[in-house]
Amino acid sequence: MHAELSREGLLEKLRKKVENCRKCDLWRTRNRPVFGEGPVDAGIIIVGLGPGRQEDLQGRPFVGAAGRFLDQLLAEAGLSRSGIYITNIIKCFLPENRATEDQIKSCTPYLDQQIEVIQPRLIIALGNVAACYLLEKFGLRCEPMERVHGRVYEVSSLTLSLRIVPMYHPASALRNPELRGRLIEDWRELGRIIRDLGLAG
């Protein structure tokens, strides 16, 4: 067991594994794996789909166009990015922004371990892939984003007890401007929920 390793130590060990990972075909076309970033004791984790071009070049999550919109949504919710752990379902550059079942299956054990180490109280799942993965991980049924966005699911396992909130992916509003207003509303409401839960700040 790793009882002697701190949470920082556990995440650093995992980061090295991701940096050397060749479990799926995506390692061939990545520049820098995007492990994730944020406080090891964050109460909130945001999970996106996977790195785009900017993220791949910088090795950091959500630093491109979708990231700029995410920053705006966080501001709408009254949340500060620096207090949140941000990562993705897939850790290496996703050329078409579409992940295969195999890639998801290969990569999500890393996310599972990040969640176990951080022990968040809330996970915000951005987009269908993250929402379905996380809901199904806790035995819930995956439903269309139109139905589940903004809903709060209380889930638990032997080692975890937390809430999951599925949200539209910020990139979906860049493709479909009609979603923009709904996303902003969802995030304002999420900010209120987070303050009621005492998780803000």
Binding site for ligand URA (CB under 6 A): 34, 48-52, 55, 61-62, 64, 66-67, 88, 171
Q: How many H helices and E strands in the chain?
A: 8, 5
Report the site for ligand SF4 in 141-200 (rule: CB under 6 A).
none
Shortest Å, Cβ 51 to ligand URA: 5
Cβ proximity to ligand URA: between 55 and 186 the closer is 55
Q: In the set 14, 33, 56, 124, which binds ligand SF4 (CB under 6 A)? A: 33
What Å distances lie between residue 63 and 34, 71, 72, 109, CA to CA?
A: 11, 9, 12, 24
CA-atom Rg of the chain in angstroms: 16
CB atoms within 10 A of CB 144: 10
Cβ proximity to ligand URA: between 174 and 197 the closer is 174
Say whether 164 sits in a helix, a strand or coil. Answer: strand
24 binds ligand SF4 (CB under 6 A): yes
Q: Which of ligand URA, ligand SF4, none lies near 88, with the C-beta cut-off 5 to 8 A by kind?
A: ligand URA
Q: Is 200 buried (19+), middle (13-18) or exposed (0-12) by CB count in 10 A?
A: middle
Q: How many angstroms separate the CA atoms of 141 and 59, rounded? A: 32
Shortest Å, Cβ 5 to ligand URA: 27
Q: In the set 23, 32, 121, 151, which binds ligand SF4 (CB under 6 A)? A: 23
Q: How many angstroms separate the CA atoms of 155 and 79, rounded? A: 23
Shortest Å, Cβ 48 to ligand URA: 3
46 binds ligand SF4 (CB under 6 A): no
Q: How many angstroms separate the CA atoms of 99 and 102, rounded? A: 8
Cβ proximity to ligand SF4: between 30 and 163 the closer is 30
Cβ proximity to ligand URA: between 63 and 118 the closer is 63
Cβ proximity to ligand URA: between 79 and 168 the closer is 168
Instruction: List interacting residues with ligand SF4 (CB under 6 A).
Output: 18, 21-24, 26-27, 33, 90-92, 103, 106-107
